[in-house]
Amino acid sequence: MSGAATQIVVTPGRVSLGDLAQVLAGASVVLDPSFWPTVDAASAIVAAAAQAPAPAYGINTGFGKLASKRISPDQTATLQHNLIVSHCCGVGSPTPESVVRLMMALKIISLGRGASGVRREVIAQLEAMLARGICPLVPQQGSVGASGDLAPLAHMAAVMIGEGQALVGGTTMPGREALARAALAPLTLGPKEGLALINGTQFSTAYAISGLLRAHGLACASLVTGALSVDAAMASTVPFRSEIHALRGHPGQIAAGATLTALLDGSDIRQSHLEGDERVQDPYCLRCQPQVAGAALDVLAQAARTLMIEANSVTDNPLVLVETGEIVSGGNFHAEPVAFAADGIALALSEIGAISERRIATLVDPALNFGLPPFLTPDPGLNSGFMIAEVTAAALYAENKQRAAPCSIDSTPTSANQEDHVSMAAHAARRLSDMADNLASILGIELLVAAQGITLRLPHLTSPALGAVIAALREEVPALGPDRYMADDLAKAKAMVEADALPRIASASLAKDPFPLLASEVTS
């Protein structure tokens, strides 16, 4: 189930990708009650440390370069309040509400492990905000992914204490007003609680998980558009044979080859040129689809493993070891694993678009498309057909290629050189949304072009699964005859891709779903 009425119980250490997908779709979360005793024990340890003479970072001291400054117990609440409001330095457009909600859920999971030293009330405030539709307004820019996603998480925490701004029902209002409308009171933070809220990788991880799920859906859609292009080009299906991929052994390649084979099964177009076809081999963009799409699928699977470990982890500092009663400083807030995972997802998005663009270019080129008219228009010359649609695909691919440069290799010292190596995970993860948008448009263009090519192959028909996809497309976009205003066609095709319609429609015509799954039960 999904939607605002859905509530799921999260068990830190065992939260799945499927759980988090539900949060992105609107579900709220509550902590597994079996974790409350550990949460309480850690909070008691922190409370005692706040009263003790020995320095404990962020509990009775300042932060970062100011860690040597002692703070008296009667200033604890002021210290934590000041930490939150001073770190609300984000700029730029608001983060999408679905990502902010996932960030809040991830913070509940992390705090719920019982190693952060916060009181129950802190977790309960996040739970209540999720359940009652209070979404902090979190600017997208300002994190370098080092000492946690400090600025974004501070904007989240600000609403919890009645500061900042929030979105409620699509309306922006002050945080205090948002809480009051939901019958919630601003939270007064205790020792370390502000630090626990803003240290952590939840902003970067939420964006990366959102990008991961979109990338996997687009990878599956690309197998449909790629199969359509195979039939439109009257290309060979021999390169998809399972024996070829078994000899190499990569799981994604094996899965992609099997999916393409299933989608093309029963194609009359394929049968029509088994004999007399003078071509020996097809271009790589058609022939090497299992190798390219499969490699992307494997990268996404690895990213899923990394991100699910991160989603179930504790990433603030210092940490409370309940078993020994110690409070220890470390660096779990450094988001290098998230940055690496996001960089990998970006590479997959870019390469899926790269090979799709090459298939589009092949189909509109009369030197390569095996007898189809130039730019797939029945009357070339007077009409330009899909000439500029292919140029648009090339432009979008170029943008994605530029954005795919790794962010994780960048670093800039911050906080008076105390935080002298940073991950740039927020940059790595945020760009995935724009890259996914571009890829959806590229695949939408391929859907239009390949469907047009197959239509021009009549009376020969494609496979039942692919025919169903074309039939669904034709309910929205008719085949192209004379030139017409095409922007609407591209938008409608993109919408089909983004709605995951292509795999769903194709699967409905097959005995079983042939599309590879993204592992969802990976935990720490």
Q: How far is CA 399 from CA 238, 239, 402, 511, in A?
A: 33, 30, 5, 39
Residue 54 vs residues 8, 70, 71, 325, 328: alpha-carbon distances, Å: 41, 10, 11, 14, 13
Q: Is 207 labeled as catalytic in the residue annotation?
A: no
Task: Name the token pair of 136.
Answer: 């902090």
For 255: left if phi > 0, alpha if psi spans -120 to 50, otherwise beta; the answer is alpha
Classified as helix, coil or strand, 10 is strand
Dig out the tokens for 120 from the structure: 């129950």
Taking the CB of residue 68, how many other CB atoms lie within 10 A of it?
9
- Record the tokens describing residue 368, joined without a space: 């390569």
Alpha carbons within 13 angstroms on the beta-carbon side of residue 375 total 18
Alpha helices in 312-378 (DSSP H): 336-364
8 Å CB contact between 382 and 414: no
CA distance 315 to 148: 8
CA 373 to chain centre: 39
User: Side chain identity at 192, as an amino acid letter?
Assistant: K
SS3 123: helix
Please answer whether residues 228 and 462 qualify as being in contact, where contact means their C-beta atoms are separated by less than 8 angstroms: yes
C-beta of residue 226 within 8 angstroms of C-beta of residue 260: yes
Catalytic site positions: 57
